[in-house]
Amino acid sequence: MSGDTAIATVCLSGTLEDKLGAAAAAGFGGVEIFENDLIASRRSPSEIRRLCADLGLTIDLYQPFRDFEAVPPDVLRANLRRARRKFDLMAELGADTVLVCSSVSPDAVDDDDDLAAEQLRELAELAGERGIRVAYEALAWGRFVNTYEHAWRIVRRADHPALGVCLDSFHILSRRSDPRAIRTIPGEKIFFLQLADAPLLDMDVLHWSRHHRLFPGQGAFDLAAFTGHVLAAGYQGPLSLEVFNDVFRQADPGPAAVDAMRSLLALRESVGTLDVPAAPRLDGHAFAELGVSGAVLADLGFTHIGTHRSKPVQLWQQGAARLLVNSAAEEGSISALGLVSADPRGSARRAEALLAPVLPREHCPGEADLAAVAAPDGTEIFFCGNDEWLRDFVPSGASSAGSGITGIDHVALTQPFDHFDEATLFYRSVLGLSPEAVAEFAAPFGLVRSRAVGDQDVRLTLDSALVRRGEWAPGVPSPQHVAFACEDALAVARTLRENGAPLLEIPGNYYDDLDARFDLPFAAELRENSVLYDRDPSGEFLHFFTELVGSRVFFEVVQRIGGYRGCGVVNTPVYMTAHRERRLSLA
C-alpha cells in the first residue's frame, strides 16, 4: 500500500537494535535491512525477524546483492551459489524482496543486455521457487547499467514474474534522467521504491550518493513530482527512505528517525495520499524573545512599553518590532519566536501532525493561551493570532520617538551543524516557509553554511558551521541575531550612533573593495557609518550591525530597496571578523 512507510537501516546510527527501535518509535511500518547491519549483529536472522515482529516492523527489503549479472559462466556459478545462501538467510529473516544493484565489477564482461537478462532470469527462477522477488536497481555509477530505463529494458527482456525493478530517486534524479517515463512501467513490475533527496552538487556521483543524500524536502530534488510518477504507474509497495549521509550516520537515531518520518508525511501530503491540516498563512514576526539588557534596547530606540502580569518578562517595542526580554532566559540567546498566524490553532495542529513537539501551555487564568512548538534546536515557536497576547502586559505608559526601526525583517538562528538539514525541513514543512538556495562561505573561524527560509512576511536564516567549531573560536555556540527593518539605514545608523548604541565598526578595506566593485553615489556615507552594501538582480541592500550585546546575540538593521530578496550573506565574513576583533580588543 502506498500509505506504508519504510526506512533503510543504513539511514540511522547505532547497532541494528538501536536502528530498529528508533524506526518503530517514529512510526515506520517497515525496514530495509542493510546487509552490513545484519552481519555485524549478534542476533541470528530468526532473532532479528522476531525483534522486528515485536516492534511491529515488517522487513520489506534485504539489500544489497551486488555484482551479479553479465558475467562469464564460472563467475555466474559462484554468484548463484552466493544467491542461494542469501535466499536461505532471507527465508529465516522473513524478507521476501532482495535488491540486486547493477554491476560495477570488472567481471561484467560487456554491455550485453541479452546476457544480463538471461542471467537475471536464472536468478529470478531460483528466487521465485522460494517465494522471493528480485528488485533490480540501476546504480547511477553502474558499469553498464546506470539508468532506470536500461534496468527496465533488461527486466522486460528477462520477462520473469519474480523479477522487477527497484526505483531509487537518487540514482534517477542525480543523473538528470527524465522521471516521466516511469509512468510507462507497469506498476506491478516496480517491486520497490527508494526515496532520497540531495543538494545539487557538482561532484562524482558515487561520492555524492554515499555521503550527501538527504531526506525528502531537505535537498533540491523534486521528490513530489518523482513520487507522483511512480504512484501514477500503479506502484503498490511502501515509500521507503534510503539515505546515506555522514551526519545522520552519527546522529541520535531517535530524533533522526522522527525527522525521516516528518519528511515522508510531508511528501505524502504533497502527493495527495495523506491529509495534514494546511499551513495557515503567516503574516509576520509578532516578537522575538531573548536575554539582553534593556539599556541596549533603549540605545537602539526601543521603549519598554509593558511588563508581563505573571512572568519575569518585559515588552520592548519600536514600530512593529517587539522584543520580549526574559530575565529568566539564558543570557544572550534567542529563546522564542512569535509568528503571526492567520489561524494559530491550525498552525499548531499542522505542527503536531508533522511530529513537532508541542510545548506545554503555561499561562495564568485570563492570559492569552498561545500554542507553541519546539524547533529542532529548541527554539520555541509561538503562533499568535491578533494582538490578544499584548493584553498580558501591564502598560508602562512610556513612549518615545524611536530611531527609525519599523519592524523585524528576519531572525538568524544559528544551528548546531548536525541540525541544519533537519531545521530546513522543519521550517519548510511545519511552517510552510520556502527554503532558498544554500550559500557557503569562508568565515574567519571556518566554513559557514547559510540558508534563508521564508517569504517577505516571515524570514529566518539558518546558519551553521560545516564542521564542529574549535573551542578557540569565539562564540561557541555561535551568536544569533535579530535583524530589524527600516526605510533609511544611513539615517538610522546616524541616529543610533548619536544615541551611543554599540554599533560595529567595519574596516576601511571593505569600503575600498566596495568602491572598486560599485560606483555608488553614497559610498562615502556607507564608509562613514559602517553600513554594508549588497546588490543583485532583485534589488539593493543596506545593513549594519551592533556589537555582540550578550554572549550569543547581536542586532542588525537592514534596508531593502526594490524587492531585494537575500540577507546580504556576502558580507557575513566581514562582520564576523569585526565581531572577533572587537572581542579581542575587549579581552
Ligand X SMILES: O=C(O)c1ccc(O)c(O)c1
Task: List, as residue ranges, the binding site.
Answer: 137, 168, 194, 242, 410, 481, 556
Phi, psi (degrees; rounded to nearest 5) at 291: -105, 95
299's contact among Mg ion, ligand X, none, with CB below 5 to 8 A by partner kind, is: none
Judged by CB under 6 A, does residue 223 bind ligand X?
no
With respect to ligand X, which residue has the nearer C-beta, 63 or 79?
A: 63
> Which of these, 162, 164, 192, lies nearest to 61 by C-alpha position?
192
With respect to Mg ion, which residue has the nearer C-beta, 104 or 359?
A: 104
DSSP 34-70: EHHHHHT-SS-HHHHHHHHHHHT-EEEEEEEE-S-SS
Cβ atoms within 10 Å, residue 133: 17
Size of the site for ligand X (CB under 6 A): 11
The letter for the amino acid at 45 is P
Kindly tell me which residue out of 22, 71, 76, 99 binds ligand X, with binding defined by CB under 6 A: 99
Read off the C-alpha cell for 104: 560495477
Judged by CB under 6 A, does residue 392 bind ligand X?
no
Give whole-number Cα distances, 227 to 97, 217, 230, 268, in Å: 20, 12, 5, 9
Q: How far is the CB of 393 from ligand X (least distance, A)?
A: 55
With respect to Mg ion, which residue has the nearer C-beta, 168 or 377?
A: 168
Judged by CB under 6 A, does residue 566 bind ligand X?
no
Cα torsion 44, 45, 49, 51: sign = positive
Judged by CB under 5 A, does residue 168 bind Mg ion?
yes
With respect to ligand X, which residue has the nearer C-beta, 189 or 309?
A: 189
Q: How far is the CB of 43 from ligand X (least distance, A)?
A: 22
Site for ligand X in 120-149 (CB under 6 A): 137, 139
Q: How far is the CB of 194 from ligand X (least distance, A)?
A: 6
Cβ atoms within 10 Å, residue 328: 9
Q: How far apart are CA 195 and CA 426, in angstroms?
A: 18
210's contact among Mg ion, ligand X, none, with CB below 5 to 8 A by partner kind, is: ligand X
Show the site string, 252-291: x = touches ligand X by CB under 6 A, - = not: ----------------------------------------
Q: How far apart are CA 351 and CA 341, in angstroms?
A: 13
DSSP 140-164: TT-SS--SHHHHHHHHHHH--TTEE
With respect to ligand X, which residue has the nearer C-beta, 196 or 251?
A: 196
Judged by CB under 6 A, does residue 60 bind ligand X?
no
Q: How far is the CB of 140 from ligand X (least distance, A)?
A: 8
SS (H, E, C) 78-112: HHHHHHHHHHHHHHHHCCCEEEEECCCCCCCCCCC
With respect to Mg ion, which residue has the nearer C-beta, 205 or 276?
A: 205
With respect to ligand X, which residue has the nearer C-beta, 209 or 318?
A: 209
Q: How far is the CB of 198 from ligand X (least distance, A)?
A: 12
Site for Mg ion in 169-198 (CB under 5 A): 194
> Which of these, 409, 446, 453, 450, lies nearest to 430 by C-alpha position?
453
Q: How far is the CB of 168 from Mg ion (least distance, A)?
A: 4
Judged by CB under 6 A, does residue 207 bind ligand X?
no
Judged by CB under 6 A, does residue 242 bind ligand X?
yes
Cβ atoms within 10 Å, residue 293: 13
Buried b (16+ CB within 10 A) or exposed e, 21-55: bbbbebebbbbbbbbebbeebeeebeebbebbeee
With respect to ligand X, which residue has the nearer C-beta, 139 or 251?
A: 139
Show the site string, 269-298: x = touches Mg ion by CB under 5 A, - = not: ------------------------------
Cβ atoms within 10 Å, residue 292: 24
**Which residues contribute to the annotated binding site for a divalent metal cation?**
137, 168, 194, 242
79's contact among Mg ion, ligand X, none, with CB below 5 to 8 A by partner kind, is: none
Show the site string, 155-174: x = touches ligand X by CB under 6 A, - = not: -------------x------
DSSP 368-429: ---EEEE-TTS-EEEEE-SSGGGGGEEE--------SEEEEEEEEEE--GGGHHHHHHIIII
With respect to ligand X, which residue has the nearer C-beta, 142 or 332?
A: 142
Q: How far is the CB of 134 from ligand X (least distance, A)?
A: 13
Kindly tell me which residue out of 29, 64, 216, 319 binds ligand X, with binding defined by CB under 6 A: 64
> Which of these, 247, 243, 244, 208, lies nearest to 223 by C-alpha position?
243
Q: How far is the CB of 507 from ligand X (least distance, A)?
A: 47
Judged by CB under 6 A, does residue 210 bind ligand X?
yes
Q: Using CA atoms in the order 185, 186, 189, 195, what is the torsion angle rounded to 10 degrees?
A: 60
Q: How far is the CB of 196 from ligand X (least distance, A)?
A: 8
Q: Binding residues for ligand X, per CB under 6 A?
A: 63-64, 99, 101, 137, 139, 168, 194, 209-210, 242
Q: Binding residues for Mg ion, per CB under 5 A?
A: 168, 194, 242
